[in-house]
């Protein structure tokens, strides 16, 4: 194509052929330069005057001569394409441009200032467009072609070099990806092995062991361990189904309070606290229980706040934190079961067996650290156990309540149920009157019981027994 690679600021030259093509390019050049002078080129020596007629119209119009220009590049008003900032940014992005060294081809125009007194008649103007076609122009074109070839050759070599580098990097990355895939496969295998071991670990997981404390407190009633067991399948002789177990941490002295319903827990505990504090002359420092609803309620909270008692709770599903009471519950239940089965005593007497169980444990169990029984630590003296007899054994009590005749029997056959906590007497079940009594004149037969004693359970199912 003619004039290919021509500078934007240089007009296309007419070489004598293809006039229409040259005309369109010339008009486009004037439009790009914002110069309105195609009529001058086409009509010859004619330069139109401005309206005032005092000055020649300038070919390079300023923005003040026309309305605000619009850029053909970014379509924004206020500047021309050659002044477009977007175009400048594209040039600054590192695009390599070929530099053409060409001999300038001139477009010459002559102008003469007119006298201010001249009229508005048309004035002559000398203008010509020419091309220098001497040998120097041809040599310049050859130099440009050589330079273009060298530039293209350099760009081609640069592309080959970059392509080689990219190919090498691709091979390295491909190799690295293969290594990562192999490592990922190994990690998956290791992960599968760890998951299997973890599953086995969960199956074999045991609870954490707890170390035994040498001595957790230095005085009684600090703290008190409380817990509730029940309901039992069989109601006791007095209709009880629950047992509130209380253990002093320092002395291991134990109390069991029997209740019919859970909601009676606070009532019996309140009475117990008043009685024990009056007995020892010291206040309860703290209590420890689980999160059962019978202990974690508003009544217990208000009572502890009023009496400045600290209420500690064990962690849910962790009975080890209240291990003193848990072990005491188990020992009481095992001992009560043994006492019931030893003499085939009816299950309705389970309350009495639990009662005599903690009564005996308070006097015979020895606290390992202090080498003393709970009775010695609580009462301050050694216990007397000479009056102990097997639970449920046959005994005979002296009848001192009825007016007996001269030939009436003075004794009633009974069953030993325990020992009175309010007096020095035995608690027995009178087979004749079907009541529980306290008696001091008792003779014991510690041999195995008769069938009559083992059949007392049928009696309690059909008859309510009076409470002593």
- For the ranges 31-45, 154-168, 221-235, the lowest mean pLDDT is seen at 31-45
- For the ranges 213-222, 373-382, 415-424, 434-443, the lowest mean pLDDT is seen at 213-222
Q: Is the pLDDT of residue 57 over 70?
A: no
Q: How far is CA 358 from CA 242, 256, 320, 336, 434, in A?
A: 15, 8, 21, 9, 25
Q: Are 105 and 10 in contact (CB under 8 A)?
A: yes
Class of domain 223-379: alpha beta
Residue 116: predicted pLDDT:
41
Structure confidence at residue 10 as a pLDDT band (50, 70, 90): confident
According to DSSP, the β-strands at 426-430 and 435-439 are antiparallel
CA distance 68 to 61: 12
* 122-131 residue pLDDT tens: 444 444 444 4
Q: Is the pLDDT of residue 222 over 60?
A: yes
| Every domain range in the chain assigned CATH 3.30.420.10 | 223-379
- For the ranges 1-10, 156-165, 418-427, the lowest mean pLDDT is seen at 1-10
Residues in the chain: 468
Phi first, then psi, for residue 436 (nearest 5°) are -95, 125
- For the ranges 108-112, 175-179, 382-386, 419-423, the lowest mean pLDDT is seen at 108-112
For residue 378, what is the enclosing H or E element? helix 374-379
Q: Higher-confidence residue: 337 or 33?
A: 337
């Amino acid at each position: 194509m003619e004039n290919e690679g021509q500078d934007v600021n240089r007009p296309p030259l007419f070489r004598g052929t293809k006039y229409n093509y040259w005309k369109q390019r010339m008009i486009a050049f004037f439009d790009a330069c914002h110069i309105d002078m195609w009529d001058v080129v086409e009509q010859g020596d004619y330069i139109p005057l401005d309206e005032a007629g005092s000055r020649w119209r300038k070919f390079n119009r300023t923005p003040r001569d026309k309305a605000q220009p619009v850029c053909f590049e970014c379509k924004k008003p206020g500047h021309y394409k050659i002044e477009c900032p977007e175009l400048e940014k594209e040039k600054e992005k590192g695009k390599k441009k070929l530099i053409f060294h060409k001999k300038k081809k001139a477009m010459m125009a002559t102008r003469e200032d007119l006298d201010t007194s001249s009229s508005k008649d048309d004035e002559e103007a000398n203008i010509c467009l020419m091309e220098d076609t001497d040998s120097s122009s041809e040599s310049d074109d050859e130099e440009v072609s050589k330079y273009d070839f060298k530039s293209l050759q350099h760009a081609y070599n640069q592309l080959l070099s970059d392509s080689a580098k990219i190919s090498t990097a691709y091979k390295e990355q491909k190799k690295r990806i293969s290594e990562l895939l192999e490592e990922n496969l190994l990690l998956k295998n290791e992960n599968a092995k760890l998951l299997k071991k973890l599953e086995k670990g969960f199956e074999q997981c045991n609870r954490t062991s707890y170390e035994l404390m040498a001595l957790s407190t230095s005085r009684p009633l600090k703290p008190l361990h409380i817990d509730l067991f029940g309901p039992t399948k069989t109601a006791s002789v007095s209709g009880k189904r629950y047992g509130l177990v209380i253990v002093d941490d320092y002395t291991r002295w134990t109390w069991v309070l029997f209740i019919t319903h859970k909601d009676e827990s606070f009532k019996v505990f309140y009475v117990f606290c008043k009685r024990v504090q009056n007995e020892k002359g010291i206040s309860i420092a703290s209590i420890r229980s689980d999160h059962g609803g019978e202990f974690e309620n508003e009544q217990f909270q208000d009572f502890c706040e009023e009496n400045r008692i600290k209420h500690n709770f064990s962690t849910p599903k962790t009975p080890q934190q209240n291990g003193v009471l848990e072990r005491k519950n188990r020992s009481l239940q095992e001992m009560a079961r043994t006492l019931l089965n030893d003499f085939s005593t009816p299950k309705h007497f389970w309350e009495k067996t639990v009662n005599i169980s903690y009564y005996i444990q308070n006097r015979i169990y020895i606290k390992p650290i202090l080498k003393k029984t709970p009775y010695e630590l609580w009462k301050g003296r050694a216990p007397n156990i000479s009056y102990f007899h097997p639970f449920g054994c046959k005994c005979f009590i002296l009848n001192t309540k009825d007016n007996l005749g001269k030939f009436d029997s003075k004794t009633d056959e009974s069953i030993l149920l325990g020992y009175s906590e309010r007096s020095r007497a035995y608690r027995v079940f009178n087979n004749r009157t079907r009541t529980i009594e306290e008696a001091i004149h008792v003779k014991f037969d510690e041999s195995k019981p008769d069938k009559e004693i083992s059949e007392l359970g049928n009696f309690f199912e059909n008859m309510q027994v009076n409470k002593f």
